[in-house]
């Protein structure tokens, strides 16, 4: 008996499509935000020179004001 010369094609599986949910978007946004914040703090710590007078200004501000009012001096330290 001769062999069959026809080649049987295997069925091609359909690709699975992942539907994005709102939680996936939240996780993605949170991850992006955290990565951006970390990268920015690293770049700032490398390239930003601290202000030598900022600590003295903060201490002087705290003598007569609240922490919330003097918080802007902490960004310079």
Residue pLDDT, tens place only, 13-33: 888 887 889 999 999 999 999
Task: Read off the DSSP letter of residue 32.
Answer: H
Task: Say what the pTM is.
Answer: 0.42
Question: So where are the chain's domains?
Answer: 49-77
Which among 58, 77, 56 has a CA at the least distance from the CA of 69?
58
Residues ≥6 apart with Cβ < 8 Å to 57: 73, 76
pLDDT digits (tens, 9 = 90+) for 34-54: 999 999 988 887 887 666 777
């Amino acid at each position: 008996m001769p062999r069959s010369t026809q080649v049987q094609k295997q069925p091609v599986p359909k690709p699975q499509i992942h539907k994005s949910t709102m939680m996936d978007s939240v996780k993605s946004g949170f991850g992006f935000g955290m990565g951006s914040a970390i990268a920015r703090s690293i770049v700032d710590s490398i390239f930003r020179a601290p202000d030598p007078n900022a600590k003295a200004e903060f201490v002087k501000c705290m003598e007569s004001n609240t922490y919330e009012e003097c918080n802007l001096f902490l960004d310079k330290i």
